[in-house]
Structure 1
Amino acid sequence: MVSLRGRVAVVSGAGRGIGRVIAEALAAEGMSLALIARTGPQVRVAAEELTDRYGVPCFPVAADITDTAAVERMVMHVEQHLGAVDLLVNDAAIIESREVPFWQADLDEVWRVVEVNLRGPMVLTRALLPAMVDRGRGHVVTVASLARAATQTGTYTGYAVSKRALSIFTGSLAAALQGTGVIVVDVLPGLVRTDLTAGMPTWRDVTDWDDPAATASTVVEIARGRYDDAAGSTLDASATP
């Protein structure tokens, strides 16, 4: 089994939900972490708890991941404090506040959702990929979504469009990265109860939620290289052994 101890991961959306569970799983494997969230207090608490529990360095970052300059500064600080980044987990995401069809939605809000969910991962990936390619190794994991449910209801347009676009982004990167030693893959967590999903009327009657620990376990195995032959694809965490 490949050890992850001493390696470095950057996890966005790490203050709560799936991102928080992923961060804990990586810390338990001995990885040093940069935890990114929009709000400082939440991610600072997460960093302190993980450091206390697992004895690994955790670097909290409150940042807007759509801000290129802010992300570049963050990467510089992470490399200075923790070292070269081996793993990026793109988990941060938001959704529209109302379940309405596109023509009734606030266009500015829709576009902000697209910016956070699509531009954010693209900015983070662009900031970290060059060094990974130069070293000849690295993994980029993007947490996918059951966006098709939103598409079927004709609502949450920004969320549905951004999440589908991310899958295209992953496929495009995988083709360009062939032979570099850098692997990009999406992970589908299933239907996990988070603040985001719990607030969607689409899921109001759901009682059988998927376990986020399955997603975290899959991310750990990706970091170990177990799924390197699945570059560019989407792994269903509920189905991976």
Structure 2
Amino acid sequence: MNILITGASRGLGYELAAEALERGHAVIAGARGGGSGKLARLSEAHGARLTIAELDVTDEASIAAYAARLKREGRTLGAIINNAAVLNARETSIEELDMDDVVFSFEVNLYGPMRVAKQFLTLLTEENAAFFNISSEAGSITKAYPGDYPYSISKTALNMFTEQLHRYLRPRGVQVLSIHPGWIKTDMGGERAPGDPRSSARGILDLLERRIVPKNLQFQFVDITGQEMPI
């Protein structure tokens, strides 16, 4: 399976790329600025099965150009994982909130996945295809809390986009999910996080490969074990 992963230069995105490659998949690792030394080492280990793509999810022209390149090369996709995200204005009160932080969060966390869907869906033609948005329990309205306004609200909106895309792609048999990866030890999650990003990546790949099949979902929002999250 050919898997496109955004935000793959570090954190969960990198672990998703590494885990997918170990399972024998081919990976297009999207990274703003063209990647990192870690991705280069993955490339040395896995050769042509890893393609490092300079993708900025806030720049639709760059996304469209890369999609057009794949089409010219006759390449298809079996899965898209929208992982690129930002977490800014942490613990900032609404009175002190800079609205530019909110706008930027939506540019990356919501509009980014929408741009990726717009440009790459025509390439998502392989059997048992999947379109995953990496969300967060912070985007659950049921569990709303004061703070992290840009991140939480943008992830709630992302869950709505997932629901819409699920209904749109259901006739094609594409699996569409928002996935809460857990609180994991990454630059975003911080050192206090109890979870391991590689373990989270394994769960997400199990969902993608349909080793885990969520059942009786009211909404397409799950954790890495396939259990439904409160919307």
Please confirm whether the aligned pair reaches a TM-score higher than 0.5, indicating the same fold: yes
1:50-100, Cα deviation, whole Å (9 max, x unpaired): 222234432222332122221011122345568211111111001224421
Equivalent residue in structure 1 for 2:12, among 15, 18, 25: 18
Contact (CA 8 Å) 1:30, 1:54: kept in 2 or not?
Answer: no
Equivalent residue in structure 1 for 2:163, among 158, 168, 171: 171
Give the corresponding residue for 1:220: 205
Q: Secondary structure at the match of 2:161?
A: helix
Closer/same/farther in 2, CA of residues 217 and 60 from structure 1, 3 Å limit: same
Closer/same/farther in 2, CA of residues 131 and 39 from structure 1, 3 Å limit: closer
Closer/same/farther in 2, CA of residues 52 and 34 from structure 1, 3 Å limit: same
Equivalent residue in structure 2 for 1:145, among 117, 132, 136: 136
For residues 16-95 of structure 1, what are the structure 2 equivalents within 5 Å?
A: 16-40=10-34, 43-80=35-72, 83-95=75-87
Q: Which moved more, 1:28-37 or 1:46-55?
A: 46-55
The answer to whether structure 1 residue 132 and structure 2 residue 157 are counterparts is no
Tell me how far 1:226 sits from its aligned partner: 3.6
1:161-201, Cα deviation, whole Å (9 max, x unpaired): 11111111111111122221211112211110211122xxx
Q: Secondary structure at the match of 2:147?
A: coil
Partners of 2:140 and 2:179 lie apart in 1 by 17
Contact (CA 8 Å) 1:71, 1:124: kept in 2 or not?
Answer: yes
Closer/same/farther in 2, CA of residues 149 and 234 from structure 1, 3 Å limit: closer
Q: Secondary structure at the match of 1:39?
A: helix
Equivalent residue in structure 1 for 2:220, among 230, 233, 241: 233
Q: Secondary structure at the match of 2:171?
A: coil
Q: Which moved more, 1:123-132 or 1:111-120?
A: 123-132
Tell me how far 1:37 sits from its aligned partner: 1.9
Partners of 1:35 and 1:148 lie apart in 2 by 25
Q: Secondary structure at the match of 1:197?
A: coil
For residues 98-109 of structure 1, what are the structure 2 equivalents within 5 Å?
A: 98-109=90-101
| Structure 2: tracts of 5 or more residues without a match | none
Contact (CA 8 Å) 2:88, 2:101: kept in 1 or not?
Answer: yes
Identity of matched residues, % = 25
Q: Secondary structure at the match of 1:155?
A: coil
Give the corresponding residue for 1:122: 114
Amino acid in the other structure paired with 1:224:
E
Q: Which moved more, 1:56-65 or 1:153-162?
A: 56-65
Q: Which moved more, 1:51-60 or 1:100-109?
A: 51-60
Amino acid in the other structure paired with 1:18:
L
Amino acid in the other structure paired with 2:133:
T
Q: Structure 2 length as normaliser, TM-score?
A: 0.84
Q: Aligned Cα RMSD in Å?
A: 2.7
Contact (CA 8 Å) 2:139, 2:154: kept in 1 or not?
Answer: no
Amino acid in the other structure paired with 1:59:
T
